[in-house]
Amino acid sequence: GLVASINSGGLQGNIEFLDDPKGTAIRVFLRGGTYGEKFRWKIHEFPSIPGTANPCSDEKIGRTYIDFTEKHGTVTAGQDMVLLSNLKLIPNASILGRTLVLRSPETGRISCAVIQPTSRIRTYQAKLFSPLGGTVVVRQSAFGTGISSQLWYVNGTRRDSIHRWAIMQSISGASESPSITFQNEVTHCANLQATPFFHISEAVGYAAVGREPSSITGRTYHSVVSAPILEKVANSLYIAIYSDIDPSEVLACGRLVPIEPRQAMAKFDSEASGEISFRQESPFDPTLVTINLNDLNKKAYSYGIDELPLIFRGDKTEVCPNVKSIIYNPLKKSPDAVPEPNKGSSDQYAVGDLSGKFGPLNNAEKHFQQVYDPQLSLFGVNSVIGRAIVIYYPDGQPLACGNIELTGRRVITAFATFDFPLQGQLILRQDRDDLVADTSVYLELSYPSAASQTKTYHHPWHVNERAIPTGQRFSLSGIECLQAGSVFNPYNVSVNGFYFSHCSGLAPQRCQVGDFSGKLRHLDIPPFGIQGNKQQISRYYFTDPMLPLVGPASVIGRSVVINEPDFGEGRLACANIFEHYSDYGK
């Protein structure tokens, strides 16, 4: 059958849809909220995106598709029920991949979940870069195929439009090189066979393109029972979007790649032993968290994911060097509104607040637990990969630490070093074999202690087109940095007009590839100092969803430029980006 797994808004439970000769059997099991709280329930047209702000709002999930309240009345928290609907919801895949929304008229409480098969789902994703940006996602299961997209113009066009679209095959095999893929993207698939492999528009309907990334007018969702099984295709596949002016011309295309499950693990081997591991099938599935800790000796209390990674330098005596002891909280959950540990739904806690979501470790000798977390992601700008997990004593001091590292993957590492007029280092890491890999960005920066007495704020920073001639030095300053050329923009994204309000980490294809400040944030830089044996420097850790370290759009061999403070356009410092070879193949 199909199920909406509810874990938001303070509610937990399942609403299941099972095929029945007379229509569809619906089973409702809800816990949380206040006992007896009643909810109106509807299905909306688009899949909600987990781990984003306000995922259940109409601006994100569109119009009502089916209103169950009109036909079957409200559902109640704490009271299980089974009902028979005469709607044939399963055989025609009509509700597959859409969002079920529960809304309480009395309290305003709102919860939502995407209706998914309980069986295996294969997920494919295409990123489009030019002149359209965005993503197309295809999810296939025994119940049918869901095709969803969010598309917008990156060339300065300000309109909404609808388009024919199709899946096309390339002549090269499935292991096509990044340079061929890049070539196909920038030539709008001119070299691909003209006859599409699957006409999406003819089978299910057109694709919408919006004037800006956040616009619902650029969202499309179709579900279909009979689509070709993509797993059986030997060649590389592309999504092609045709021009709405000349429907025979391909306007934009992007390679459609299978999303491989991501696995990551943090290991502990000092005051506590064991590991915490994570597995996520795709960005649209919850993450399975497995906690397996030993030797806690009743010392541990809380644990969580930190904003920063653990980094050992000279001093090996410190338990958790470099961590901030600030729980990773990308959606800015207010600490005052957090429920008691293990009493709420996962969206009510900070993403990194593991003991809040899953319960504390107090008085435990060891701890084993497996839980699905729909808010914690291994994909995209809010990924937890690379950050530290810290286990704390009851007094808040760190007991043990481990970094969340990708498991079983070959990682490519690159770096840039600054020595004047700023000092510090940028470290970039990416899975070298994953076609949709994110890149982790770690940055440490300060002014040399003699150079500046004050902290400066809001520095733009970018990867620029060219390497710079640094000679014997690591970095250059001021007008010397003009040699780096302009911001690296291989897909010719328009930077006029609304660029600064549209480019973001949630819409990275609306950004220039080199635009760190647009995708991530601006930098604040302090003078170097030592306070209570801790270095006073800026430390940042980000996940950049669009920063290739391999292929023709790679940033390796280019330079990183940091501008003057207060959103300045003048260049302050620049350094070259090199590949780091010692941990190749690790």
What is the rounded CA–CA span in Å between residue 203 and residue 469? 55
What is the average pLDDT across 385-409?
A: 96
Q: Which residue type occupies 177? A: S
Do 97 and 212 lie in one domain? The reply is no
Helix (H) or strand (E) holding 240, with range, is: strand 235-242
What is the average pLDDT across 402-406?
A: 97
Do 229 and 217 lie in one domain? The reply is yes
Whole-number pLDDT of residue 315: 64
Do 19 and 97 lie in one domain? The reply is yes
* 303 bridge partner residues: 391
Do 449 and 574 lie in one domain? The reply is yes
Do 311 and 205 lie in one domain? The reply is no
Residue 586 in any domain: the answer is no
Do 526 and 433 lie in one domain? The reply is yes
Whole-number pLDDT of residue 584: 44
Do 81 and 132 lie in one domain? The reply is no
Instruction: Please work out, in degrees rounded to the nearest 5, the angle formed at the alpha carbon of residue 436 by the alpha carbons of 434 and 438.
Output: 90
Domain boundary among 226, 258, 290: 258
| Pick from 367, 370, 390: nearest CA to 297 | 367
Domain boundary among 85, 117, 149: 117
User: For 76-108, b where at least 16 C-beta lie within 10 A, e where not — what string?
Assistant: bbeeeeeeebebebbeebbbbbbbbbbbbeeee
Instruction: Domain count for the chain, please give it.
Output: 4
Residue 353 in any domain: the answer is yes
Do 71 and 86 lie in one domain? The reply is yes
Whole-number pLDDT of residue 171: 77
Find the domain containing 331 and state its range: 262-406
Query: For 96-107, what is each residue's pLDDT tens digit?
Result: 999 999 999 999
**Mean confidence (pLDDT) of the chain:** 93
Domain boundary among 371, 406, 441: 406
What is the rounded CA–CA span in Å between residue 137 and residue 151? 11
Instruction: Please work out, in degrees rounded to the nearest 5, the angle formed at the alpha carbon of residue 287 by the alpha carbons of 281 and 288.
Output: 100
C-alpha distances (whole Å) from 195 to each of 157, 189, 198, 248, 389 are 28, 12, 9, 11, 50
Whole-number pLDDT of residue 538: 95
Do 253 and 273 lie in one domain? The reply is no
Q: Which residue type occupies 448? A: P
Do 436 and 571 lie in one domain? The reply is yes
Contact 239, 271 (CB under 8 A): no
| Pick from 155, 163, 162, 251: nearest CA to 212 | 155
Task: Copy the structure tokens of residue 444.
Answer: 């440490």
Helix (H) or strand (E) holding 72, with range, is: helix 68-72
Residue whose token pair is 């600030």: 326
State the CATH number of the domain containing residue 538.
Answer: 2.60.40.200
Task: Copy the structure tokens of residue 482.
Answer: 């003009």
Query: For 526-578, what is each residue's pLDDT tens digit?
Result: 999 877 767 889 999 999 999 999 999 999 999 999 999 999 999 999 999 99
* Residue 318 binned pLDDT confidence (cut-offs 50, 70, 90): confident
Do 432 and 550 lie in one domain? The reply is yes
What is the rounded CA–CA span in Å between residue 585 and residue 35? 54
Q: In sequence order, what are the residues at sequence separation of 6 or more whose Cβ sits closer than 8 angstroms to the Cβ of residue 121?
A: 139, 140, 141, 281, 282, 285
